[in-house]
């Protein structure tokens, strides 16, 4: 099974989450690959904020996702920061560019997951997850929800996917607690895979 994780990372938090998720999927025997969407302004922000600059080179080394990236995947996972309750403009621009694939239903039946990071609340992040999920529904993808896991109840995750609270200045990095959440999500993916 091939899983393509497509991200837009600004502060580096989405990149950290995606890298950890990729490692855990590989450990589970899944061919997980990491891609990014185009962001022509990322270097400008990196020059202004150290937290952005910390992962800039790693992010820019990722291949830019395109329709072929989607078509080669058995599972697609999207990750993007939350902006005003939605995904970032860069992720939306990428998804908007795939409209023809919606009409041909070329991705129908493939698996889908999503995650986000946000400054203020899990609720805000849930709206961003929903916006990614609407795209997946239009593409006829099969959503693997995060679900409910009593073991990580205190993480307060929405059912649709994973949310990381990064604080107002986006400088709270993902912790071991989020690692436990990701591990539970990988367990769910494995159940769908089998």
Structural domain of 37: 2-193
Longest dimension (CA), the chain: 46
CATH number at residue 24: 3.40.50.360
Q: How many whole angstroms from its chain centre is CA 162?
A: 8
How confident is the model over 134-164, as pLDDT tens digits?
Answer: 999 999 999 998 887 777 765 678 888 898 8
**Half-sphere exposure of residue 157: CA atoms within 13 angstroms, side-chain side:** 28
How confident is the model over 88-138, as pLDDT tens digits?
Answer: 999 999 999 999 999 999 999 999 999 999 887 788 889 999 999 999 999
Question: What is the 8-class DSSP label of residue 65?
Answer: P
How far from each other are the two terminal CA atoms of the chain, in whole angstroms? 10
Count of structural domains within the chain: 1
């Amino acid at each position: 099974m091939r899983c393509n994780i497509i991200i837009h990372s600004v502060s580096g938090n989405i990149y950290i989450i995606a890298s950890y998720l990729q490692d855990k999927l590989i450990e589970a025997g899944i061919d997980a690959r990491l891609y990014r969407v185009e962001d022509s302004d990322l270097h400008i922000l990196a020059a202004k904020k150290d937290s952005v600059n910390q992962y800039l080179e790693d992010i820019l080394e990722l291949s830019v996702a395109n329709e072929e990236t989607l078509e080669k995947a058995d599972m697609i996972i999207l990750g993007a920061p939350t902006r005003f309750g939605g995904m970032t403009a860069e992720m939306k621009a990428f998804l908007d560019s795939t409209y023809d694939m919606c009409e041909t239903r070329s991705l129908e039946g493939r698996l889908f997951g999503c995650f986000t990071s946000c400054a203020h609340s899990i609720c805000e992040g849930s709206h961003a997850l929903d916006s990614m999920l609407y795209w997946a529904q239009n593409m006829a993808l099969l959503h693997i929800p995060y679900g409910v896991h009593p073991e990580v109840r205190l993480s307060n995750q929405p059912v649709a996917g994973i949310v990381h609270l990064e604080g107002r200045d986006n400088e709270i990095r993902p912790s071991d607690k989020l690692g436990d959440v990701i591990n539970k999500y990988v367990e769910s993916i494995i159940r769908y895979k089998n």
